[in-house]
Amino acid sequence: MSLANKLAEERRARLAAERLLEQKQAELHAANRKLGKHALALSEEIVETRAEVQTVRDENERVKSDLTVANEKIQIAERRLWHSIETIQDGFAFFDIDSRMIAANKAWLAVFDGLEDVKPGVSYIEILQLVTEEGIIDIGDMPPAAWREKMLDRWQSPSPEAEVIRLWNGEYIKLIDQRGHGGDVVSLALNITDTVRYEKKLNDARRAAEAASKAKSSFLANMSHEIRTPMNGIVGMAELLIDTSLNEEQRLFADTIKSSGEALLVIINDVLDYSKIEAGKLELHEEPFDLERCIHELVTLMQVNTRDKGLDLLVDYDIFLPGRFIGDPGRLRQVLTNLIGNAVKFTEEGHVIVRATGVPSDDMRQTELHITIEDTGIGIPPDKAQHIFGEFNQVDDERNRKFEGTGLGLAISERLIRMMGGHIWVESEEGNGAVFGFSVTLPTAESVDPSSLHVPEGLKTALIVEDQPANRTILERQLGALGIRTQSVQSGAEALATLPGEVDLVVTDHIMPQMDGMELAEAMREAGHQMPVILLSPSPTTAEQDPARRHVQAVLGRPTPRADLFAALDRLKDRFTAPRAPAVEPPPPPEPAGARAMRVLAADDNKTNRLVFSKMVKALDIELEFATNGIEAVALYESFDPDLVFMDISMPEMDGKEATRRIREIEARSGRHVPVVAMTAHAMGGDKEDILSAGLDHYLTKPLSKSAISGQVAAAQPAGTRPPLPEDQAAS
Ligand code: ADP
């Protein structure tokens, strides 16, 4: 091989080697670059990780310091809490689920008076044991074991009741223990010594006040007795004086004494009632009573005043409303008396109507009664409507000066009705009359018997003759409710012009201008109209004595109780079906000849009262004997054999109650029962029951009235004796 070739070959080999070197160098370079990048990434990672580690380390430091702060706070809070617990005056302790004390404040521990054993860890049972052994607690007569058992039972109950204990030194501690969720018990011991002492003081004060109120009550009762007894003499004597021959001036004086005395008694009674209500001493005495009768009796009494004034006093008692209820008749009568009395007092002309309606309960056992008293008087300004129900309140002094009154009547009525669970109201316009009303719900004592409302078969139509519009409306409604067709006229002349028509019955007012009811009946008979006539009269006695009485088939009082109306319709029933004949009332049965006078015994220790009594019965046909005490009354009961006894209650030696008891003992052997009527000045609630329970039958309150005595005598007349009342009195 040539050198040139060799050189060429070498050059080629060198070139190839150079190329390989270049290639390897490039590869090395690339590898180096990669390594560099990797190293960079690695170092970045290391930096990051190091930063993270630092963050975690910082966090740990913060948490650690927070924890320290929190711990400090907890310690402060705990210290404060405990400080507060220590500061409060009341005892505070808590126990774990096993009833071991965890902690207690000083006040709680103070009760144990330095007993070292009472400290955290002690059990509740041990505490109970210690307090009984050391006499720390006054457990009274209770044996210590029983007391501990009682306290332990209480402690173990899920929610122990509060318990008051008394310490040896007279202090009172109220224990309030509360069981928590985990079974721990928080125990509070409150020192209530001051409260207990205060309560005791209050109780003592209340007892003293009650005693004072009782004393006031009995003072009032005594005052009532003391005032009533001499008033009995004054009013009674004045009444007797009026019956003697007097000149006009003397009569005026006597009348004034009597009416002033009576007015004073009304005031005394009002003040007494009001004091009793205020002292909570007034009790209601419930019994069955006849409301309708009660209203009619009151109205009859008040008619004396209304007649003088020319006022009409009417009753509109719902025909289907029961008559008998259970309630306190005396107190209802008092309310009615006040309301009707006011209506009459404040009305110069027109009318006063007492209306009674009611709504029965679903089972018919009770009735919600609504009673209104409507007048056409002076009325009440609206701004005074509530004011007048307050005590001593009147509409105004100027206006009231001409009317008597204390301003207590409505206040008493309002309270009485409230006590009965009802309410009272007034609706009025000044100058246009007033309607006072009250409603009470009372048990029904006797519901209306539908058969008693039966109208005779032939009675289909009635002619009402009545000049007074309010009266006419009431009659139309009552008869209409019974299914009787009514036709009304205003005078006798109009009635005669209408008859005979289709009229089965004529119901006429007695007192009418021009032709009165009696004259109408007479004129009807003369004209040949034979249908029966019922005459309604405010004074039935006068009507009975009218020569034209025989033309009238029934005379009924006005206002007319429903029972009287039904009884009259029933008596006439044959006349509606049978051919009509002129009616003549049968004459009263003749008195048995040779009958003796009634024997009446009256016992009273007071000479004036005996004198008053003898004068009051002077006109009666009776044989009267007096006893001056209970012993004499019993003796006379046996020797005199009375038909009726009037018995004073307060008498020396033997009082009226004891005397009556003895009389009833004597009668128990003979089987007789002579009525004994109490005469008393006592007016406090409960007296009546007390007296009646001693065996007395009736009760009269002093001052006695002639009519009350006569009423009792007439009611007690036995068969075979002469009527004790003179004819004019008997009729009324
Ligand atoms: P008194 O009638 O004794 O004054 P009341 O308490 O019964 O006391 O009545 C209080 C007042 O209410 C009366 O004074 C009167 O001014 C007024 N009053 C009561 N009823 C009526 C009435 N029917 N019409 C007008 N005013 C009345």
In angstroms, what is the C-alpha Rg of the chain? Answer: 51
**10-residue averages of pLDDT along the chain (732 residues):** 86 92 93 92 92 92 93 91 85 90 89 84 91 88 90 88 90 90 87 91 91 74 73 86 88 86 80 76 85 87 80 87 88 92 90 90 86 92 85 66 74 92 91 92 78 73 88 84 85 83 86 86 85 85 79 84 81 65 46 77 87 86 92 92 92 89 87 87 65 83 81 87 78 57
Report how far ligand 1's centroid is from the alpha carbon of 351 (Å).
17
Tokens linked to 329? 């008749």
Report how far ligand 1's centroid is from the alpha carbon of 326 (Å).
28
Residue 205 placed within a domain: no
* Per-residue confidence (pLDDT) for residue 508, from 0 to 100: 92
Provide the 3-class DSSP secondary structure of residue 648: strand
Residue with the smallest CA separation from ligand 1 atom 19 is 342
* 8 Å CB contact between 439 and 422: yes
For tokens 């009416």, what's the residue?
259
Residue 257 placed within a domain: no
Please tell me whether residues 314 and 420 are part of one structural domain.
yes
* 8 Å CB contact between 167 and 173: yes
Residue 203 placed within a domain: no
Cα–Cα distance for residue pair 680/12, rounded to 1 Å: 169
What pTM does this model have?
A: 0.53
* 8 Å CB contact between 648 and 680: yes
Beta bridge pairs of residue 489: 465
Report how far ligand 1's centroid is from the alpha carbon of 332 (Å).
18
What is the sign of the dihedral through the CA atoms of 55, 56, 58 and 59? positive
Please tell me whether residues 418 and 325 are part of one structural domain.
yes
CA distances from 119 to 125, 148, 620 (A): 13, 19, 96
Last residue of a domain, one of 86, 114, 149: 86
Any idea what the CATH number is for the domain that residue 344 is in? 3.30.565.10
* φ, ψ (nearest 5 deg) of residue 29: -60, -45
* Per-residue confidence (pLDDT) for residue 236, from 0 to 100: 86
Report residue 105 CA to chain centroid gap: 53
Cα–Cα distance for residue pair 6/538, rounded to 1 Å: 181
Give, for 172, the enclosing helix (H) or strand (E): strand 172-179
Measured from CB, residues less than 6 Å from any atom of ligand 1 are 338, 342-343, 346, 375, 377-380, 388, 394-395, 400, 405-411, 434
Last residue of a domain, one of 448, 475, 496: 448
Tokens linked to 487? 């036709």
Provide the 3-class DSSP secondary structure of residue 176: strand
Please tell me whether residues 67 and 108 are part of one structural domain.
no
Out of 268, 337, 342, 378, mutate this one to test ligand 1's pocket (max ligand atoms within 8 Å of CB): namely: 342
Choose among 291, 315, 481, 425: nearest CA to 369. 291
Please tell me whether residues 386 and 517 are part of one structural domain.
no
Please tell me whether residues 459 and 485 are part of one structural domain.
yes
Report how far ligand 1's centroid is from the alpha carbon of 439 (Å).
19
Please tell me whether residues 401 and 416 are part of one structural domain.
yes
* 8 Å CB contact between 629 and 654: yes
Report how far ligand 1's centroid is from the alpha carbon of 433 (Å).
12
Residue 184's identity, in one-letter code, is D
Residue 394 placed within a domain: yes
Choose among 229, 45, 186, 108: nearest CA to 610. 229
Please tell me whether residues 22 and 54 are part of one structural domain.
yes
Last residue of a domain, one of 32, 60, 86: 86
Q: What is the DSSP string of 2-67?
A: -HHHHHHHHHHHHHHHHHHHHHHHHHHHHHHHHHHHHHHHHHHHHHHHHHHHHHHHHHHHHHHHHH
* 8 Å CB contact between 291 and 332: yes
Choose among 215, 80, 113, 233: nearest CA to 609. 233
- Locate the DSSP E strands across 580-621: 598-603
Please tell me whether residues 533 and 650 are part of one structural domain.
no
Domain limits for position 162: 91-191
* Per-residue confidence (pLDDT) for residue 729, from 0 to 100: 64
Do you know the residue count of the chain?
732
Residue 250 placed within a domain: no
Any idea what the CATH number is for the domain that residue 627 is in? 3.40.50.2300
* Per-residue confidence (pLDDT) for residue 578, from 0 to 100: 45
* Per-residue confidence (pLDDT) for residue 4, from 0 to 100: 87
Please tell me whether residues 542 and 569 are part of one structural domain.
yes
Report how far ligand 1's centroid is from the alpha carbon of 343 (Å).
8
Residue 635 placed within a domain: yes
Domain count, the chain: 5
Residue 505 placed within a domain: yes
Residue 276 placed within a domain: no
Residue 220, Cβ neighbours under 10 Å: how many? 20
Residue with the smallest CA separation from ligand 1 atom 13 is 394
Cα–Cα distance for residue pair 675/711, rounded to 1 Å: 13
* 8 Å CB contact between 689 and 681: no
Quote the DSSP letter at residue 387: G
Residue 362's identity, in one-letter code, is D
Please tell me whether residues 186 and 113 are part of one structural domain.
yes
Please tell me whether residues 525 and 647 are part of one structural domain.
no
Please tell me whether residues 425 and 473 are part of one structural domain.
no
Q: Quick one: which atom of ligand 1 is closest to the CA of 408? A: 6
Residue with the smallest CA separation from ligand 1 atom 22 is 343
Out of 264, 274, 394, mutate this one to test ligand 1's pocket (max ligand atoms within 8 Å of CB): namely: 394
* 8 Å CB contact between 321 and 356: yes
* 8 Å CB contact between 424 and 435: no
Residue with the smallest CA separation from ligand 1 atom 25 is 379
* φ, ψ (nearest 5 deg) of residue 553: -85, -25
Out of 337, 339, 406, 410, mutate this one to test ligand 1's pocket (max ligand atoms within 8 Å of CB): namely: 410
Report how far ligand 1's centroid is from the alpha carbon of 385 (Å).
10
Q: Quick one: which atom of ligand 1 is closest to the CA of 406? A: 3
